[in-house]
């Protein structure tokens, strides 16, 4: 059984997709947040999942917050820490502490559009394809080894909201699969690449 701790900052729809996927051999040990009012915390608590929050505004530095968060996370002895809409830039100390067992979902086809407002920026740049990326986290923002990517078309009349909704559907398919692959020991990091063993090809999707 692998212990999974999921970090969220708001709605938590990706966390819900992971919980509802009922992945074999994993236990959702806790859902934690930097925002005590995150809607996803209430959703998890209703399902008897342990929840907790730490308000980052109460800490005088990013490192102090990350250290306090690490203590909370480590109490659950996680095999995997999942960032599912956790809207914090992480310190190198945090990233190194969970090296190889920390994954994130980002709403763009990395390495394009790291950071915020990804859908708006993809539309403004005239992209015909947008998507999401699940990757291992390294100290450099949105740059770690890629586990899976999903792509969707960008339509002429898209707004950031319509594109976000199309991408989110793909996020909900790919993220539980990535967690299942990790839990089953199928993901190997080689340099900056992830290889899925024993022989299956990594999932990538182009969805209408
Ligand atoms: C998701 O679209 C996720 O890709 C994005 O936040 C949203 C969270 O939604 N993550 C980031 O932007 C990370 N930089 P959710 O709370 O409903 O899962």
Q: Over the stretch 4-18, which tens digit does the pLDDT of each residue have? A: 999 999 999 999 999
* pLDDT above 50 for 208: no
Mutate to test the pocket of ligand 1, among 11, 32, 44, 107 (most ligand atoms within 8 A of CB): 107
Specify the DSSP element, H or E, that contains 50.
none
Contacts of 174 (CB under 8 A, 6+ apart): 105, 132, 134, 148, 149, 150, 203, 205
**Range of lowest pLDDT (39-53, 70-84, 128-142, 194-208):** 194-208
Identify the band that residue 197 occupies on the pLDDT scale cut at 50, 70 and 90: confident
**How many A from CA of 206 to the centre of ligand 1?**
19
Identify the band that residue 52 occupies on the pLDDT scale cut at 50, 70 and 90: very high
Q: Are β-strands 193-196 and 187-190 bridged in parallel, bridged antiparallel, or unpaired? A: antiparallel
Two domains, one topology: 1-98 and 105-208: yes
Residues belonging to the binding site are 12-14, 62, 87-90, 104
pTM attached to this predicted model:
0.95
Measured distance CA(105)–CA(40) in Å, rounded: 16
* pLDDT above 70 for 201: no
Q: In the CATH scheme, what architecture does the domain 105-208 have?
A: 3-Layer(aba) Sandwich (3.40)
- What is the pLDDT averaged over residues 81-95? 97
Which CATH code is given to the segment(s) 1-98?
3.40.50.170
Which residue has its alpha carbon closest to ligand 1 atom 5? 85
> Residues with beta carbon inside 6 Å of ligand 1?
8, 10-14, 84-85, 105-107, 132, 168, 171
Active site residues: 106
**How many A from CA of 197 to the centre of ligand 1?**
28
Q: Can you give the residue ranges of every domain in the chain?
A: 1-98, 105-208
């Amino acid at each position: 059984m692998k212990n999974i701790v999921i970090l969220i900052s708001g709605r938590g729809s990706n966390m819900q997709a992971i919980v509802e996927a009922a992945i074999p051999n994993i236990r959702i040990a806790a859902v934690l947040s930097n925002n005590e009012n995150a809607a996803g915390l209430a959703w998890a608590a209703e399902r008897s999942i342990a929840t907790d929050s730490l308000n980052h505004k109460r800490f005088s530095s990013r490192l102090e917050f990350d250290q306090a968060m690490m203590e909370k996370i480590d109490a659950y002895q996680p095999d995997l820490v999942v960032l599912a809409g956790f809207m914090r830039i992480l310190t190198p100390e945090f990233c190194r502490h969970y090296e190889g067992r920390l994954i994130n979902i980002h709403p763009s086809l990395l390495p394009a559009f790291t950071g915020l407002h990804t859908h708006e920026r993809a539309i403004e740049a005239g992209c015909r394809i947008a998507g999401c990326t699940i990757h291992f986290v390294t100290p450099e923002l949105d740059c770690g080894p890629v586990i899976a990517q999903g792509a969707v078309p960008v339509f002429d009349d898209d707004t950031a909201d319509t594109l976000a909704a199309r991408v989110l559907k793909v996020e909900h398919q790919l993220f539980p699969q990535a967690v299942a692959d990790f839990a089953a020991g199928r993901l190997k990091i080689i340099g900056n690449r992830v290889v899925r063993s024993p022989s299956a090809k990594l999932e990538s999707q182009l969805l209408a």
